[in-house]
Each structure stands twice: as structure tokens, then as C-alpha cells.
Amino acid sequence: MNGARILLADRRLLAAALALAVVLVLVLVGPWFSPYACDEIDFAGDWSAPPSASGAHWFGTDSLGRDLFVRTLCGGRLSLLVGLVSTLVSLAVGVAWGALAGYRGGRLDQTMMRVVDVLYALPFMFFVIVLMVLFSRHLLLIFIAIGAVNWLDMARVARGQTLALRQREFVAAARLSGLDDLQIVRRHIVPNLAGLVVIYAALTLPQVILIESFLSFLGLGVQEPATSWGALVNDGAREMESAPWSLLFPAGFLTTTLLLLNVIAERLRAALERPGR
């Protein structure tokens, strides 16, 4: 499976990946090119000032007189970090769980999938709120927790795929060569799930970023003065009439990123699932 070839063969995938790279670079290095810090309040300047291309604040200022350009980019760092961590956690748990259940089958499979069923029936929102209340101080812990809740889909799909892989000759060969179950899962099953994992990663990332933004809506999001796209969009939504720029810029970044991630997921799926086309 040659990632680069797939990427280069699909113009839209390539374009989306490049655009995402631009967003990433902007978010990572952008703040260094601004004279303002993320949490700096301009006590003398105008608060909720409109953007000006010539002036000091390219994206304007927020309702506390902070530079929106820097805050949007800083918020992006956090949103992406949060998305990445949660996605990794959910993939790791989901793949391990699904592959093990699918490979071993039998009673273990039934029990493990039963756990998934129960967790499915738990309202996600309730679970997240309780986690937020319990871990209110540690942001990353929360997103590890979110990732740990979000793995259910991955587990189901990984299990399905594993069930199919189990029948294949190379697994039987590995078994004959004396590898134990865990080794087979690790060396032969999981690597063969890679394509699936990539697609799911691209699908999960935008979901998690949206969850973070919803938590901000509930007021349970990141801790000031740090910020995230979700928190910024929320603040902006409150001022959408009086200071539309405070909604438009962060929402633009958030939406664009989610859009790009979704496009990438879709094209990857097309490329990986139907290699003939």
C-alpha cells in the first residue's frame, strides 16, 4: 500500500491535503509573526474592534480587547491537539478491542461486544458531562476520556474486518509457525487494518473537534486565557450581530478544517476501498 501514490493519483485529495497543511503551518507558526500574545489584553485599545488590513488587528479584537488573529491561531493549536489526542486514543482502544474480539471470537468476542453495546446505549452527552465534571482541571485527561468513549465505532468496524482477515491464509500460516494470539493480532491483523484506521482517523478528528466546541457551548470547555476554535466560535456567536468578525474568522477556520478533513476521509475511502477505480 503506497500512501504517496494514492495521494498523487487523486487531485482533490492532494489539494485538500495541501490546504490542510497550509492551515497547520499557519496555526503552528502564525502566532510568531504577530506582535500580540494570545492572552494579551489591549487595555488602551478598542474592544470588539472591527478588523483592519492596515491597522494593528488583522482580524479585529474580541470583546476583551485581545487580538483575534493570534487567538484564532492559538485556538487552532488547541483544537487540533485535542482532536489528535482523542482520535489517537479512540483508534488505539477501538482497534485493539475490535481486533482482539474478532480474532479470538467465541465467548470473549460476545462479552467484549456486549460491553460495546452497553456503552452505545449510554447517552454520549451525559457521559461527557459527567467526565467533564469529574476531571474539570485536566484538559488532556478529558480528551483522553472523550477518546475513550468515542472508540465504539472503530471497535465494531475493526472486529468486522478482523473476522474476514482471520480466514485468510497468512493468518493460518502464522498460526502454524507457532505465534501466539497476541502476536498474530499485533503483527498480522492490526497492520492489515491500517487503511481502515486512516479513514477512521480522518472521520473521527472532525467529530472530536466538534465535541470540544459543543463543550464550549455548555461552558465546560477549555480554561481561559487559553482558547480553542470551539470557544472562539461560541464567543463569536454571542456577538454575531454586533461584531460579526468575531464569529466569522474562527468559524471560517473551524469549518474549513473540518471540511478538509472530511474531504480527505472521503477520498481516502474511495481510494482504499475500491483500489480498482
Torsion angle, alpha carbons of 32, 226, 200, 89, to 10: 110
- Name the segment binding another protein (CB under 8 A); options: 41-49, 102-110, 159-167, 172-180: 41-49
Closer to another protein by CB, 47 or 58: give it.
47
Please say whether the beta carbons of 95 and 159 come within 8 A.
no
Please say whether the beta carbons of 99 and 275 come within 8 A.
no
Closer to another protein by CB, 17 or 48: give it.
48
Please say whether the beta carbons of 82 and 209 come within 8 A.
yes
- Name the segment binding another protein (CB under 8 A); options: 71-79, 82-90, 94-102, 114-122: 114-122
- 10 is an interface residue for another protein by CB under 8 A: no
Closer to another protein by CB, 171 or 260: give it.
260
Closer to another protein by CB, 107 or 177: give it.
107
Write the single-letter amino acid at 179.
L
Binding to another protein in span 200-239, by CB under 8 A: 206, 210, 213-214, 217-220, 223-225, 230, 233-235, 237-239
Tell me the CB-side half-sphere exposure of residue 165, using CA atoms within 13 A: 28
Binding to another protein in span 168-207, by CB under 8 A: 206
236-to-18, 63, 72, 162, 267 alpha-carbon distances in Å:
28, 9, 11, 45, 32
Closer to another protein by CB, 192 or 234: give it.
234
DSSP state of 2: -
CB of 181 to another protein, least distance (A): 27
Binding to another protein in span 251-270, by CB under 8 A: 251, 254-255, 258-259, 262-263, 266, 269
CB of 188 to another protein, least distance (A): 28
DSSP state of 189: I
Closer to another protein by CB, 147 or 250: give it.
250
Please say whether the beta carbons of 148 and 89 come within 8 A.
yes
Question: Total residues contacting another protein (rule CB under 8 A)?
Answer: 59
Please say whether the beta carbons of 250 and 59 come within 8 A.
no
Q: Write the DSSP assignment of 216-249 as a string of letters.
A: HHTT-SPPTTS--HHHHHHHHHHTTTT-THHHHH
- 43 is an interface residue for another protein by CB under 8 A: yes
Query: Coil, strand or helix: which one is 67?
Result: strand
Closer to another protein by CB, 185 or 236: give it.
236
Per CB under 8 A, residues contacting another protein are 39-41, 43, 47-48, 63-65, 114, 117-118, 120-123, 125-127, 129-130, 132-134, 136-137, 206, 210, 213-214, 217-220, 223-225, 230, 233-235, 237-243, 247, 251, 254-255, 258-259, 262-263, 266, 269, 274
